[in-house]
Amino acid sequence: MIVDTGRRAIAEFLRQHFTQMDLGSGSNITNPAQIALDNPIITTKQSITPILHADTGYTVEFTADFTGSTLQGSTLSEIGIFGAGTISWDTETRIIEKLLIREVIDALGPFSSTDTITISIIIEVI
């Protein structure tokens, strides 16, 4: 069992280090070894500021707004949260620009240049 202080530490780690969201049009099942979206539809991952919910301290919300000019003509069916930058652990520094979570959804779109979409993913450490 992970104790409350450990759950909060893991949630805080996710909030600090996984700060990019990407969208794609892939639709197959996520492979546990997967490190990228199947078919990204935006050219640069969007930076986000995840929120650690104070009421529990174990829930992290990842939210981003995407404009139609970024998604124009695309159909969205996969969402990914990615690490950004590096972390130091003991005596090693590691790059963590890897996929944390990939969600496949029912297709949305195609989008016009005037559309805006807000995507939120909530992760609870249990």
> How does DSSP assign 65-102, residue by residue?
EEEHHHHBT--EEEEEEE--SEEEETTEEEE--SEEEE
* pTM of the model as a whole: 0.89
Report how far residue 95's alpha carbon sits from residue 106's, in angstroms, rounded to the nearest whole number: 32
pLDDT value for 86: 78
pLDDT value for 90: 76
Residues of the chain whose pLDDT is less than 70? none
pLDDT value for 110: 94
Report how far residue 98's alpha carbon sits from residue 84's, in angstroms, rounded to the nearest whole number: 8
